[in-house]
Chain A
Amino acid sequence: MQDLEALKAEILASFEAASDVAALDAARVAALGKKGALTERMKGLGGLDPDARKAAGQALNRLKGELTEALDARRAELEGGALDVRLGSEQVDITLPVRPEVQGRIHPISQVLDEMAAIFGDMGFSIVEGPDIEDDFHNFTALNIPPEHPARQMHDTFYFPERDDGSRLLLRTHTSPVQIRTMKSGAPPYRIIAPGRTYRCDSDITHAPMFHQIEGLVVDEHTHMGHLKGCLIDFAKAFFEVANLPVRFRPSYFPFTEPSAEMDIGCAREGGVLRIGEGADWMEILGCGMVNPRVLDMAGVDSSRYQGFAFGLGVERSAMLKYGIPDLRTFYDADARWLRHYGFAAGDVPSLVGGLTR
């Protein structure tokens, strides 16, 4: 037995001496392998008498168990150390920047158009489009603006060269021709909005030769001016996200509506900052009115039976007011810094349920 104690001490020392998992494995083979010291002892049991063999066997088995335990413990110890070493070697400077990713931006014009479509879509409007290059009939005549009408001077029109028949095409000065196209292409009732590019031969700080409008048209047998007000007030509250937005309607003039009005919203201008919905100032946001019976007649809609309203809304202007964008000309410059600052994230799809804006 003395002998076994010595063997045990020797093997345990060899385990302890192993400095890594490989050395430990070598020590394991030397002790417990096929030709290991303990295994050899086990083989020697056969030469003993049964009683002695039983006692020695039990002792050897016990020792084997103890050694295996010690081996596992030492292995765990060594492995843990190795992991520590590996972890140490794998350390990075976690303050390093991430791989570059670029955030794309949605232009405020598209975003605001999406917002408006969400609001009007919810009110049952369909969204339709019309061509930028128009003829005189759709842009003017059918809208009750005959050739010499002074209202034509309010529209600085871009023209194309005169054609053989003397007519000339033009760039639409407003989205109102889509009213005519809509009415000519189907029977009432109509409840549509028509967003799009519009053009005026005018360029300064507050005018761009191209800008965007949204046209609205509601025609049925019962829509009156109260509905016009209700619809546009509902729209303005939803769009500007101000529940008690002050609004006023002023009589105005458009040849294609009668009565005609302009809609203002209440705002405050203090220190160069515009605040919507408070204060004593008024800001014009759109022109509107009851569709002139002549326009209905010219579009082939029976004005003795049908009536309704139309409106036209500047998209850039709305975006400027809502988001505090100071300069119209910057909309068309594609300046990286401007787009980053005033643009919208790809995932910010406006919805009335989820909110128009974050």
Chain B
Amino acid sequence: MKFTLSWLKTYLETDESLEALSAGMTAIGLEVESVEDPAEKLAPFTIAHVVEAAPHPNADKLRLCTVDTGAGQVQVVCGAPNARTGMKGVFAASGSTIPGTGLKLKPTKIRGVSSNGMLCSEREMGISDEHEGIIDLPEDAPVGEPFAAYMGLDDPLFDIAVTPNRADCLGVYGIARDLAAAGLGQLKAPDLTAVPGAFKSPLDVRLDFAPGAEDACPLFVGRYIRGVINGPSPKWMQDRLLSVDLRPISALVDMTNFVTLDLNRPVHVFDADKVSGDHLWLRTGCAGAKFQALNGKEYELDDEMTAIGDGAGVQSLAGVMGGEATGCTGETVNVFIEIALFDPVRTAATGRKLNLESDARHRFERGVDPAFAEPGMEVATRLVLEMCGGEASAMVIAGQAPEWRREVTFRPSRVHSLGGVDLSEMVCEEILGNLGFDSYEVGSDHLAVEPPSWRGDIVGEADLVEEVLRIHGFDNIPAVSLPPLKARAGAAIELAPRRMGWARRALAVRGMSEAVTWSFMPRAQADLFGGALPALTLANPISSDLDVMRPSILPNLAMACRRNADRGFADMALFETGPQYSGDSAADQHRVVAGMRSGQAMSRNMYTPARPVDAFDAKADALAALAAAGAPVASLQVKPDAPAWYHPGRSGTLALGPNLLGCFGELHPAVLAALDIDLPLAAFELFIDAIPVPKEKAGRTRPALTISDFPAVERDFAFVVDADVSAEQLIRAARVVDKKLIADVALFDLYEGEGVGEGKKSLAIAVRLEPKDRTLTDAEIETLATKLVDNVKKVTGGVLRG
């Protein structure tokens, strides 16, 4: 809401400084978003007299002006065609900064003649685009005086944010009323003098609502004014509107805008001669009716919308916008003024459905003062008569204002128990009284408070506590630290989010950087990664590129890798810890840790040869993150059955029986092609919610550590197995031979090719034996080795390589 200081002062008698008023507004909840004081920028510029404008000795188009600034005479070289002897202009001295150009003036020489300062154009002053010549002030302009004050350009402009509950502050008078209550001045009442009606309005109003819809418009006040001349509005009103960036149109239209902004009372004016028939009707249920609004657009109504119409049809969308057909023009002679109360809910719904914003809608949907319809009509009438002449009828009043008087119980003690500040009952009553609330004591500890008609937002005791507190000042509430709670045993965070955190830090340790990407993505990408359900398609996406909830994080990471590659960073290691969605219930939102490496596994270096990222990079990341998150990694089964977006031969799943904890692998070449990515990508997805929750343990003690002083023995075996035998099978077959003695089985070589035969491969393992109670004898080792070779043969068909 924009208004100027001088406008505010029409209702507020105050000596407070601009700063104090501004701080005061913010302190009572009318947040000042900006105060523009044009005088500040224009302060250095004064009115000057051009004593002489002589030709420049060295340039035809320049003039050499002797300027009386009021503080002495200076010489100024001026290029303006209208510079002439005797004129009054605006002088900018050396050292000042020109608002329109941002240039700082300094004494200079122009074509060999010294020039001190400048005579300015309107554009240079930043007040218009006019730059044909310098500002030409009237002859009687006082030399040496500030230009801004003389031109009335010293009126600071406030822009405040009015919260939706403060409908009463959508007018300058309401703001003044609140400031006066806060002690920042004396409220001046608007002129509500009644204008007597000289005749009976030839136009009537009928509230024609079906039962149940009467509240769409409980009150309509109308007035006929005949014989008006709708010329331009007077300068004072044009200035008011211009000061808040509204374009003056005509006296009648300007009046409606002015009354709306000034008194927060929306008004509409019909050209009475364009209304068909002898009455206006108001009703809902006009489905299908079309109507041309004042903004030049056509709208179609539905049954819920409140319409104002005449014999010809719908002429106005009640509370939102009037119609073109009955609008006022320069030829308008007879008018009918409308001041009504429209239902906030219906008005909001109509505006929203038609996507139609207006100052009237903004106010009606927040609620206008139900007691101010008739006073508002007096103001509107008086303004029309003043500006346009004519003669006013008696008011036409249809319906009546709804009962707004109500009592709210208020215990002043709540200001302390809820608000945290000790204020006496007297202080509370005084604050409420200043705000227009009536109150009287009804019990030993509570009051009955009646809010004023303009405060429809006040419904309960907490609202009254807020009123008292905001006028007293939130800053005057003593701050009290929260009292400590009993000590907590255990974490403040639940296990699953903690696991996400552990995985996050573990992956960062592994050189991966954390990304945060949108929860939504393009459908085409989602379809490559399992697809999004119709229920997970946004009805109103921000763009078609972000229209479905992500079924996987990987497309976002892949696109991030691509973006980085385009910027010259092809070798990326990114991960994200966030949600993915398999449905629209809370249980369908899964905590996922997903990661992706692109390009080369390691930047080019002299130590290790370059190689592209592969499935085993992803597997290592996945296992490390799972381990960090607390998954029993040693028990995981690895199977080559990852989802379709992975390379079928270079990917796998990590599972505990039927419980899938993750997938990893290189991305499918077809997916890469569809994403237009020309980089190797290896990725993993981990499902943190699927990690088993450990049993509640009595404590944090670890099992006793048994370590053996007997020497460990390592023996290597190489087996020739069929090519389709997995390393996992071989290792398992070796390991189970003696679970106590065999501490580790590590695969260290894979060989395929000459010497092992077609369809075969050689796998070499190192078996580490850690005896607990004795040193192993050669014979014992030999026996174990034989058993191991036998079991591997039995399980995998592999034979010891000769």
- Residues of A participating in the B interface, judged by any CB pair closer than 8 Å: 96-97, 99-107, 109-110, 114, 117, 121, 123-133, 148-151, 153-154, 158-163, 168-169, 171, 191, 197, 199, 201-203, 209-210, 218, 223-231, 233-234, 248-253, 258-262, 290, 292-294, 307, 331-337, 339-340, 343, 345-347, 349
In the complex, the chain A residue whose C-beta lies closest to that of B542 is A209
Q: Does B711 contact A (CB under 8 A)?
A: no
In the complex, the chain B residue whose C-beta lies closest to that of A235 is B482
Q: Does B579 contact A (CB under 8 A)?
A: yes
Residues of A within 8 Å of B421, CB to CB, are 225-226
Q: A96-B606, A101-B511, A292-B462 are in contact. Are A159 and B589 (CB under 8 A)?
A: no
Residues of A within 8 Å of B477, CB to CB, are 225-226, 229, 249
In the complex, the chain B residue whose C-beta lies closest to that of A221 is B417
Q: A197-B519, A224-B418, A224-B419 are in contact. Are A100 and B603 (CB under 8 A)?
A: yes
Q: Does B313 contact A (CB under 8 A)?
A: no
Contact A124 B488, beta carbon cutoff 8 Å: yes
- Residues of B participating in the A interface, judged by any CB pair closer than 8 Å: 26-29, 31, 163-166, 344-345, 348-349, 352, 365-366, 416-421, 460-463, 465-466, 469-470, 474-475, 477-482, 484-485, 488, 492-494, 497, 501, 504-520, 534-543, 546, 549, 557, 560, 563-564, 567, 569, 572-574, 577-579, 581, 584-586, 588-589, 602-603, 605-608
In the complex, the chain A residue whose C-beta lies closest to that of B588 is A133
In the complex, the chain A residue whose C-beta lies closest to that of B589 is A131
Contact B514 A160, beta carbon cutoff 8 Å: no
Residues of B within 8 Å of A225, CB to CB, are 418-421, 469, 474, 477
Contact B482 A252, beta carbon cutoff 8 Å: no
Q: How far, in whole Å, are A340 and B572 apart by their CA atoms in the complex?
A: 12
Contact B164 A100, beta carbon cutoff 8 Å: no
Q: A99-B607, A226-B480 are in contact. Are A191 and B569 (CB under 8 A)?
A: no
A-B contact pairs, 25 of them (CB 8 A): A100-B603, A102-B603, A124-B482, A129-B494, A159-B538, A168-B539, A169-B584, A201-B540, A210-B520, A223-B482, A224-B420, A225-B418, A226-B421, A226-B480, A258-B463, A259-B474, A294-B460, A332-B518, A333-B560, A333-B563, A334-B513, A334-B557, A334-B574, A339-B514, A346-B508
Closest 10 CB pairs of A and B: A226-B420, A251-B29, A253-B163, A259-B466, A102-B511, A104-B508, A346-B508, A334-B515, A334-B560, A124-B485
Contact A258 B518, beta carbon cutoff 8 Å: no
Contact A131 B586, beta carbon cutoff 8 Å: yes
Contact B514 A231, beta carbon cutoff 8 Å: no
In the complex, the chain A residue whose C-beta lies closest to that of B507 is A104
Residues of B within 8 Å of A126, CB to CB, are 492-493
8 Å CB contact of B605 from A100, A105, A158? A100
Q: A99-B607, A103-B511 are in contact. Are A161 and B534 (CB under 8 A)?
A: yes
Contact A331 B516, beta carbon cutoff 8 Å: yes
Q: How far, in whole Å, are A109 and B501 apart by their CA atoms in the complex?
A: 12
Q: How far, in whole Å, are A297 and B658 apart by their CA atoms in the complex?
A: 44
Q: A131-B589, A334-B517, A339-B514 are in contact. Are A307 and B164 (CB under 8 A)?
A: no
Q: How far, in whole Å, are A149 and B167 apart by their CA atoms in the complex?
A: 13
Contact B511 A104, beta carbon cutoff 8 Å: yes
Residues of A within 8 Å of B584, CB to CB, are 133, 160, 169
Contact A160 B605, beta carbon cutoff 8 Å: no
Q: How far, in whole Å, are A227 and B481 apart by their CA atoms in the complex?
A: 6
Contact A248 B475, beta carbon cutoff 8 Å: yes
Residues of A within 8 Å of B603, CB to CB, are 100, 102
Contact B504 A106, beta carbon cutoff 8 Å: yes
Minimum C-beta distance from B615 to chain A (A): 19
In the complex, the chain A residue whose C-beta lies closest to that of B603 is A100
Residues of B within 8 Å of A260, CB to CB, are 466
Minimum C-beta distance from B34 to chain A (A): 12
Contact A250 B515, beta carbon cutoff 8 Å: no
Minimum C-beta distance from B591 to chain A (A): 9
Residue among A102, A225, A262 having the largest count of chain B Cβ atoms under 10 Å: A225
Contact B479 A226, beta carbon cutoff 8 Å: yes
Q: How far, in whole Å, are A346 and B418 apart by their CA atoms in the complex?
A: 43
Q: A332-B517, A332-B518 are in contact. Are A227 and B480 (CB under 8 A)?
A: yes
Residues of B within 8 Å of A234, CB to CB, are 481-482
Residues of A within 8 Å of B493, CB to CB, are 117, 121, 126-127
In the complex, the chain A residue whose C-beta lies closest to that of B467 is A259
Residues of B within 8 Å of A293, CB to CB, are 460-462
8 Å CB contact of A261 from B474, B507, B511, B564? B474
Residues of B within 8 Å of A248, CB to CB, are 474-475
Residues of A within 8 Å of B536, CB to CB, are 160
Q: A210-B518, A307-B418 are in contact. Are A253 and B164 (CB under 8 A)?
A: yes
Contact B549 A110, beta carbon cutoff 8 Å: no
Contact B481 A251, beta carbon cutoff 8 Å: no
Minimum C-beta distance from A112 to chain B (A): 11
Residues of B within 8 Å of A346, CB to CB, are 505-506, 508-509
Residue among B475, B479, B501 having the largest count of chain A Cβ atoms under 10 Å: B479
Given contacts A124-B484, A125-B492, 17 further A-B pairs with CB under 8 A are A99-B608, A100-B605, A101-B511, A132-B519, A160-B538, A197-B579, A210-B518, A224-B416, A225-B469, A226-B421, A226-B477, A227-B420, A229-B420, A234-B481, A307-B417, A334-B516, A335-B563
Contact B589 A133, beta carbon cutoff 8 Å: yes
Residue among A104, A223, A340 having the largest count of chain B Cβ atoms under 10 Å: A104
Q: How far, in whole Å, are A163 and B501 apart by their CA atoms in the complex?
A: 36
Contact B348 A148, beta carbon cutoff 8 Å: yes
Minimum C-beta distance from B534 to chain A (A): 7
Q: How far, in whole Å, are A99 and B607 apart by their CA atoms in the complex?
A: 7
In the complex, the chain B residue whose C-beta lies closest to that of A122 is B492
Contact B605 A97, beta carbon cutoff 8 Å: yes
Residues of A within 8 Å of B469, CB to CB, are 225, 251, 259
Q: How far, in whole Å, are A223 and B420 apart by their CA atoms in the complex?
A: 9
Q: How far, in whole Å, are A214 and B419 apart by their CA atoms in the complex?
A: 24
In the complex, the chain A residue whose C-beta lies closest to that of B416 is A224
Q: How far, in whole Å, are A34 and B588 apart by their CA atoms in the complex?
A: 89
Q: How far, in whole Å, are A148 and B365 apart by their CA atoms in the complex?
A: 9
In the complex, the chain B residue whose C-beta lies closest to that of A261 is B474
Contact A343 B564, beta carbon cutoff 8 Å: no
Q: A224-B418, A226-B480, A293-B462 are in contact. Are A110 and B514 (CB under 8 A)?
A: yes
Residues of A within 8 Å of B534, CB to CB, are 161
